Amino acid sequence: MKRRKSVRAYGLPSRWRIGTVLLLLILACLLPGILGVAVLFAREYLNGRAQLERDMIATARAMVQSVDTQLFKARITGQVLSTSAALSRNDLEGFHRRAREVIAKTRVGMNFVLTNESGQQLVNTLREFGEPLPRHGNPEIPRRVFATGLPVISEIYIGGVLRKPVISVDVPVMDNDRVRYVLSVGVSLDDFNAILAAQHFPPGWVSAIFDNTGTIAARTHAPEAFVGQKGTVEYIQRISESLEGSMQTVTREGIPTLSVWSRSSVTGWSVGIGIPREILEKDLIRTMTWLAAGLAILLVVGLALAWLAGRRIAGSVRALTEPAIALGKGLSVPVPEVSIQESAEVAVALRQAGELLAARTTSLVAANQELEQLARVDALTGLQNRNSANERLRQEFLRLKRSGHLYVVLFMDIDYFKAINDTYGHDTGDQVLRHVATVLKDTLRESDFVARYGGEEFLAVLPETNAEGALRLAETVRQTVSRHAFPVAERVTVSIGVAMATDQDKNEEVAVRRADTALYQAKADGRNAVRGC
């Protein structure tokens, strides 16, 4: 058989084969997709990491609030007990009985200690009245109270009677504008361990509570080894620089972790939460391994299919070579059957695919718009959510900086909301949240912005409002909620913190923190109150 001449024999340059072109096409299609998936995964991982940090900071912030609540309860209880009639009569035995009754009734604190100016304990409810008592475990604390006449939240020290780490909230006992005694409310570190246990952190996570000097008061891991010791130097330095944040650090056991913290602006106590980097990286490595395996399989399958398709297309083209040569010579050669689909069918298929893609694109755009709306609205109350609130705060802050238009932030919190949930159930709690949201929408002005900020907290932004007007409006809100008839729970009250943004603020969060501080003051003053900052 005569050998067929190659294309070069006719002076034509060498051309690429169909199989080679298809293989390159598959690579050109798959490689950008692979790179895109890798980039999207990296972005998703980073976004998930950032969201995890935000969630951890929010948890730490809530735990700090629980710590502050524990300390404020002790301070208020001590202040109330310091006005006991038995102390006015100098009836120390009667005061001893009364103090034990208060502990049994309120379950606030583990003991009460009455100390004179020399630091000598006169009464300690852990001992029977009249038994010999040691001096105060930290004489510097009563000296500060006698010197200033103000309450003091102590750092961790070794108790004079228990001889183990404790903290105390110390308040003055006044007699004609003079400090007569110091009344100490002893707080067990077990109360702080209970706050950690209530979070149910995953195994391996490390969390700790620190006093205002950076000393560990409670810890999820090995508390017996670390309670009473200082946190790491890096941690103490970072919490002194900012109220909240995250960092890569190493625990006292030498475990590298991603750690976050939140520090109370009122008491100076802080909470740290750490996730070992090994846990984070294990999930990442496992996911990356599966992703790489899937992409490798996809690439191999794609190349194999391209090779098979190239062979079939090349065979169909070559099958037409002999008939074409035969026809060129005037020979009658039957045209062989080929495997290539007609162009018309391809065109119809492409048109159908285009129509289907257009319909799906329209549906996808509508679905994305609906999802974007859902992402900005709180599903329970129908109010805007925290993300929307943060955006509005940023807008108002930039407007203030640009044109000097003032605005006020209201930070509102439902009083005793946990008790409502515990007493009547979460369904009633949800009804309370919805009714409070309705009251806020009906009471605030149309130009005001209101959102559910989280849990039982609500935040309102009042543009073009001065401090006096904001306080009046906040008081109206408080009274309206107090008079509103709630189902099952009947009467519900709110505490409100009011803060005006100023052009001296560094960012929009400053006014929110002031409003939060004012809210704490309203809570400390007995709740159902409005306080400005």
CATH number, residue 113: 3.30.450.20
Contact 138, 157 (CB under 8 A): yes
Q: Specify the DSSP class assigned to residue 119.
A: S
Structurally, the chain folds into a number of domains equal to 3
Query: Which of helix, strand or coil describes residue 422?
Result: helix
- Quick one: pLDDT at residue 332? 53
Dist CA 154 CA 183 (whole Å): 13
Dist CA 168 CA 188 (whole Å): 9
Q: Are residues 347 and 469 part of one domain? A: no
Cβ count within 10 A of residue 485: 9
**In whole angstroms, what separates CA 533 from the centre of its chain?**
25
- Quick one: pLDDT at residue 141? 92
Within-domain flag for 502: yes
Dist CA 476 CA 456 (whole Å): 19
Q: Are residues 351 and 429 part of one domain? A: no
Give residues with Cβ within 8 angstroms of 165, minimum separation 6.
156, 157, 158, 159, 189, 217, 227, 228
Q: Are residues 366 and 462 part of one domain? A: no
Contact 186, 111 (CB under 8 A): yes
Cβ count within 10 A of residue 212: 16
Q: Are residues 447 and 347 part of one domain? A: no
- Quick one: pLDDT at residue 343? 34
- Quick one: pLDDT at residue 334? 56
Within-domain flag for 214: no
Q: Which residues span the domain enclosing 104?
A: 82-187
Q: Are residues 432 and 358 part of one domain? A: no
Nearest CA to 478 out of 413, 531, 411, 528 is that of 528
Within-domain flag for 73: no
**In whole angstroms, what separates CA 288 from the centre of its chain?**
26
Of the residues 142, 166, 187, the one at which a domain ends: 187
Within-domain flag for 477: yes
Within-domain flag for 451: yes
> What is the widest separation between alpha-carbon atoms in the chain?
134
Within-domain flag for 50: no
Of the residues 315, 349, 374, the one at which a domain ends: 374
Q: Are residues 459 and 349 part of one domain? A: no
In the annotation, is 456 catalytic? yes
Within-domain flag for 15: no
How many residues can be counted in the chain? 533
Dist CA 430 CA 489 (whole Å): 11
Identified catalytic residue from 155, 396, 456, 508 = 456
Dist CA 32 CA 110 (whole Å): 65
CATH number, residue 517: 3.30.70.270
pLDDT tens-place values along the chain, 533 residues long: 445 555 554 555 556 666 676 667 767 776 777 777 777 777 777 787 788 889 899 999 999 999 999 999 999 999 999 999 999 899 999 999 999 999 999 888 889 999 999 999 999 999 999 999 999 888 999 999 999 999 999 999 888 787 888 899 999 999 888 999 999 999 988 889 999 999 999 988 999 999 999 999 999 988 888 898 898 888 889 988 999 999 888 888 888 988 999 999 999 999 999 999 888 777 767 777 787 787 778 778 877 777 777 677 766 666 656 665 565 665 554 555 555 554 334 333 434 544 565 677 677 776 666 666 667 899 999 999 999 999 999 999 999 999 999 999 999 999 999 999 999 999 999 999 999 999 999 999 999 999 999 999 999 999 999 999 999 999 999 999 999 989 888 899 999 999 999 999 999 999 999 999 999 999 999 999 999 98
Q: What is the DSSP string of 140-155?
A: HHHHHHHHH-S-EE--
How is residue 165 written in tokens?
């780490």
How is residue 293 written in tokens?
């395996």
The count of C-alpha atoms lying within 13 angstroms of the C-alpha of 113, restricted to the half-sphere facing its C-beta, is 29
Query: Which of helix, strand or coil describes residue 127?
Result: coil
Q: Are residues 364 and 430 part of one domain? A: no
Q: Are residues 347 and 432 part of one domain? A: no
Nearest CA to 396 out of 512, 508, 504, 511 is that of 508
Q: Are residues 392 and 489 part of one domain? A: yes
Pairing outcome for strands 530-532 and 494-500: parallel
Of the residues 152, 169, 187, the one at which a domain ends: 187
The count of C-alpha atoms lying within 13 angstroms of the C-alpha of 199, restricted to the half-sphere facing its C-beta, is 27
Dist CA 20 CA 310 (whole Å): 8
Q: Are residues 523 and 435 part of one domain? A: yes
Within-domain flag for 163: yes
Q: Are residues 396 and 369 part of one domain? A: no
Contact 98, 87 (CB under 8 A): no
Q: Are residues 444 and 467 part of one domain? A: yes
